[in-house]
């Protein structure tokens, strides 16, 4: 069964291309066996990648960041599901408000690096020592001054201002199921008003809300195109170069704090400890502001990249008395607020 001349040429080209493709993929295949694996939410992949790239250069080891396209709670749950045989060595971006669940699941080891001594006690929020503070940011009510001026509207200053009828169809806050900023907004409301009153407030706010973007990108796109004018954003998004006149009175804001932890049963335990030390040291903390748009907790680290961002006058932190119900709140939000 010999193929004809043209068929033979076509067949040869296909075989060569197939072999070349497989060869390329085999050569490009990353080796994960001898690699430090760091888990974290997708939202901080820029910062995590920059940190790990620098760490690789410094210690000449293989390291990677895995987020599975998950948010901070989902990735923490993924770690919990791997209890006893973890894939990750370190987890970063563990939010303060979900720390209790992760610690109670017994998937973290206590590690106290020397660098913790220079971090102010006020920045340490996990007293059990499992999760070390790494960075923080501020969620503010921001607005597009151009649109408000065109419509002759005053700038919103507080959460309650957002329910003002004159802002109907102009407000947004991110979907807390898919966005860390959205979850922070939800927790800001619940920390300030309590659970029941908080949900009542969110339901009152909903008629003014035009959309719940899935994350930062869709929020910025909606702001850029003038679809929305008022909403929750990190303070570092104010004066963001591509959004015209995004401002904030910064009267009040929510402090979003996240940490880093050593995974119990980590396969690369010693290098994992080195990474934690690196991430909390000046060298690693210097990367937090420019790559993650967050504030480092090490006072010796620079955050000059965020110099223009307004710091809220009243800072609301997570109300630990309501800890432990985040998943239930997300369900409730989808059912009673978004899906109502």
Partner 1 sequence: MATRGQGSLVHALDYLPLLAFALFFYAIPICYVLASINVQELAGLLNDPYVLKLIWNTILQAVASTIPSIVLAIPVAYFFANYAFRGSKIVRNLLLTPFFVPAFAVTEGMIIMLGERGLVNQFLELILGTRQPVSDVLYSVTAVVMTHVIYYLPLAMLILEQGFSSVDQDQLDAAHVSGADWLTTLRVVYLSHLVPFLAASAILVFAFSFITYSTPILIGGKFTTLEVEIYSTRTRSVSSSLAIIQLAMTLAISVLVMAFRERTYKSSLGSARPLSREEGQSHTLGRRALLVYCILVAVIELMPVYLVLVQSVSQSAVVLFPTSISLEGFSALFAQEFGFGVGFIDVLLTSLSIAFVASLCSVLLSILIAWRGLQSKRARESTGLLLSLPLSISRSSLALGMMLSYGFGMLQLYGSWILFILGDIALIVPLIFRVIEASWLRIGSEVREAASTFGASDLYRLFRIELPLIAPAVASSFMLAFSSSISEFTFANFFSTLNLMTLPISVATLLDLRKFGPAAALNAVIILIVVAAEVTSPAVSQEALRVM
- Cα–Cα distance between 91 and 101 in angstroms, integer? 14
Residue-by-residue DSSP string for 6-40:
HHHHHHHHHHHHHHHHHHHHHHH----TTEEEEE-
Q: Which stretch binds partner 1 (CB under 8 A): 22-30, 110-118, 130-138, 256-264?
A: 22-30
Binding of residue 74 to partner 1 (CB under 8 A): yes
Q: Does 268 bind partner 1 (CB under 8 A)?
A: no
Query: Which CB sits closer to partner 1, 221 or 314?
Result: 221
Indicate which single residue of 34, 217, 308, 315 sits in contact with partner 1 (rule: CB under 8 A).
Answer: 217
Figure out which of the listed residues 5, 28, 117, 165 binds partner 1, where binding follows CB under 8 A: 28
As a whole number of angstroms, the longest Cα–Cα distance in the chain is 83
Is 218 one of the binding residues for partner 1 (CB under 8 A)? Answer: yes
SS (H, E, C) 169-197: CCEECCCCCCCHHHHHHHHHHHHHHCHHH
Give least dist CB 118 to partner 1, A: 29
Q: Is 220 helix (H, G, I), strand (E, B) or coil?
A: helix
Q: Where are the alpha helices (DSSP H) in 38-179?
A: 45-59, 72-81, 99-104, 145-151
Residue 8 within binding range of partner 1, rule CB under 8 A: no
CA–CA distance, 149 with 245 (Å, rounded to integer)? 11
Q: Does 164 bind partner 1 (CB under 8 A)?
A: no
Rounded distance between C-alpha atoms, residue 242 and residue 244, angstroms? 6
Among the listed ranges 17-25, 105-113, 264-272, 297-305, the one in contact with partner 1 (CB under 8 A) is 17-25
State yes or no: residue 65 binds partner 1 (CB under 8 A).
Answer: yes
Name which position in 214, 251, 317, 319 contacts partner 1 (CB under 8 A). Answer: 214
d(CA 4, CA 149): 75
3-state percent helix, strand, coil for the chain, nearest multiple of 5: 50, 20, 35
> CA gyration radius for the chain?
23
Kindly identify the residues of this chain, within the stretch 104-123, that bind partner 1 according to CB under 8 A.
Answer: none
Of 30 and 114, which CB lies nearer to partner 1 in the complex structure?
A: 30
- Minimum CB separation of residue 273 from partner 1 in Å reads 21
Cβ-Cβ contacts under 8 Å for 250 (sequence gap 6 or more): 140, 235, 238, 310, 311, 312, 313
Quick check: 68 binds partner 1 (CB under 8 A)? yes
Binding positions for partner 1, rule: CB under 8 A: 1, 7, 14, 17-18, 20-22, 24-25, 28-30, 32, 42-43, 45-46, 49, 52-53, 56, 63-66, 68-70, 74, 77-78, 81, 87, 175, 177-178, 209-212, 214, 216-218, 220-222, 224-227, 242, 327, 334-335, 338-339
């Amino acid at each position: 069964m010999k193929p004809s001349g043209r068929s033979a040429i076509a067949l040869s080209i296909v075989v060569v291309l197939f072999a070349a493709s497989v060869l390329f993929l085999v050569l490009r295949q990353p080796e994960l066996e001898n690699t430090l694996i760091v888990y974290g939410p997708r939202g901080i992949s820029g910062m995590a990648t920059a940190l790990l790239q620098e760490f690789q250069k410094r210690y000449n080891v293989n390291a990677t960041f895995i987020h599975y396209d998950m948010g901070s709670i989902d990735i923490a749950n993924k770690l919990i599901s791997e209890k006893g045989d973890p894939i990750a060595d370190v987890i970063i971006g563990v939010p303060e408000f979900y720390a209790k669940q992760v610690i109670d699941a017994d998937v973290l080891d206590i590690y106290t690096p020397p660098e913790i001594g220079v971090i102010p006690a006020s920045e340490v929020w996990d007293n059990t020592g499992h999760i070390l503070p790494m960075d923080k940011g501020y969620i503010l009510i921001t607005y597009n001054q151009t649109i408000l001026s065109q419509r002759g509207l005053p700038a919103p200053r507080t959460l309650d201002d957002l329910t003002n009828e004159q802002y109907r169809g102009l407000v947004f806050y991110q979907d807390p199921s898919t966005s860390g900023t959205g979850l922070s907004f939800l927790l800001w409301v619940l920390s300030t008003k309590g659970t029941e009153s908080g949900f009542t407030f969110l339901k009152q706010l909903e008629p003014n809300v035009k959309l719940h973007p899935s994350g930062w990108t869709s929020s910025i796109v909606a702001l850029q195109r003038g679809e929305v004018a008022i909403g929750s954003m990190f303070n570092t998004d104010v004066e963001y170069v591509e959004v015209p006149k995004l401002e904030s009175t910064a009267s009040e804001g929510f402090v979003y704090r996240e940490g880093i932890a050593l995974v119990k049963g980590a396969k690369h335990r010693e290098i994992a400890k080195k990474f934690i030390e690196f991430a909390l040291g000046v060298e690693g903390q210097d990367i937090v502001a420019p790559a993650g748009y967050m504030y480092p907790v090490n006072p010796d680290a620079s955050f000059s990249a965020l110099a223009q961002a307004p710091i809220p006058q009243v800072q609301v932190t997570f109300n630990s008395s309501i800890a432990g119900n985040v998943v239930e709140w997300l369900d409730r939000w989808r059912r009673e607020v978004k899906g109502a």
